[in-house]
């Protein structure tokens, strides 16, 4: 699949949403070490790019398995700038030498939070299951934060209290809680046969 047909287009604010890209790659046999070097190198390079919001690498659970790399950009336009850059082209050449052809999917919805390394790249849980786990994560975090810092922020104005809670909840939910809950509830999210 080529990059030109995986990215939606749009040049206004509504057409420039945050975006998550999931790439599946399998190292060429005997080049696993070089592939790990590639993963480290491209991740470090992408982190320096404007709008890059983080990368998660899911390594295979079994030998000769595929890697799932999930990375996020704040705007589609920043992703497109990275994808068309000379630096990205250099990394693409390295990837082609150390791994088999990739699978790629670009998404902008809740599905980005619910990815497992062993599931097919286009398989997502039902929306009600995703909504339940988001609720569970938010409920748990807000409850814990209210217990831990509630007494310190109770005299602050409502907007400041809300800001204080959400500035902690959203990144913690995105990078730690939902990946953990996705693994914990993987059999419920992805019943046998869906991957």
Residue 66 CB neighbours (<10 A): 21
In this structure, are 143 and 68 located in the same domain?
no
Q: Is residue 116 part of a domain?
A: no
What is the structure's pLDDT at 57? 86
Q: What is the pTM of this model?
A: 0.53
pLDDT by 10s per residue, the chain, length 195: 223 333 433 343 456 777 888 888 999 999 999 999 999 999 999 999 998 988 888 888 787 888 888 888 888 889 999 999 999 999 999 999 999 988 877 765 555 555 555 454 445 677 788 889 989 999 999 999 999 999 999 999 999 999 999 999 988 887 788 878 887 888 888 775 444
What is the structure's pLDDT at 10? 39
In this structure, are 58 and 98 located in the same domain?
yes
In this structure, are 12 and 69 located in the same domain?
yes
In this structure, are 72 and 160 located in the same domain?
no
Of 108, 143, 175, the residue at which a domain comes to its end is 108
- 167-170's contacts with Cβ under 8 Å and 24+ in sequence apart are 168/141, 169/138, 169/141, 169/142, 169/145
In this structure, are 135 and 104 located in the same domain?
no
What is the structure's pLDDT at 135? 92
Of 79, 108, 137, the residue at which a domain comes to its end is 108
Q: Do 41 and 6 touch, CB atoms closer than 8 A?
A: no
In this structure, are 77 and 31 located in the same domain?
yes
Q: Is residue 48 part of a domain?
A: yes
In this structure, are 45 and 134 located in the same domain?
no
What is the structure's pLDDT at 58? 84
Q: Is residue 119 part of a domain?
A: no
What is the structure's pLDDT at 193? 45
- Quote the domain boundaries for residue 89: 3-108
Q: Do 115 and 66 touch, CB atoms closer than 8 A?
A: no
What is the structure's pLDDT at 122? 47
What is the structure's pLDDT at 9? 38
In this structure, are 88 and 20 located in the same domain?
yes
Q: Do 31 and 98 touch, CB atoms closer than 8 A?
A: yes
Query: What is the tally of structural domains in the chain?
Result: 2
In this structure, are 40 and 131 located in the same domain?
no
């Amino acid at each position: 699949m080529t990059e030109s047909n995986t990215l939606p287009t749009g040049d206004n604010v509504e057409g420039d949403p945050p975006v998550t890209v999931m790439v599946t790659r399998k190292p060429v046999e005997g080049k696993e070490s070089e592939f790990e070097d590639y993963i480290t190198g491209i991740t470090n390079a992408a982190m320096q790019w404007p709008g890059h919001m983080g990368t998660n690498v899911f390594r295979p659970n079994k030998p000769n398995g595929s890697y799932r790399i999930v990375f996020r950009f704040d705007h589609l336009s920043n992703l497109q700038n990275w994808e068309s850059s000379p630096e990205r082209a250099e990394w693409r050449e390295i990837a082609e030498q150390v791994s088999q052809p990739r699978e790629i999917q670009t998404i902008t919805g809740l599905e980005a939070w619910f990815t497992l390394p062993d599931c097919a790249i286009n398989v997502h849980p039902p929306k009600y299951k995703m909504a339940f786990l988001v609720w569970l994560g938010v409920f748990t975090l807000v409850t814990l934060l209210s217990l831990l810092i509630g007494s310190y922020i109770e005299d602050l104005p409502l907007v400041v209290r809300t800001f204080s809670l959400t500035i902690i909840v959203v990144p913690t939910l995105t990078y730690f809680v939902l990946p953990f809950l996705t693994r914990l509830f993987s059999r419920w999210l992805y019943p046998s046969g869906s991957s």
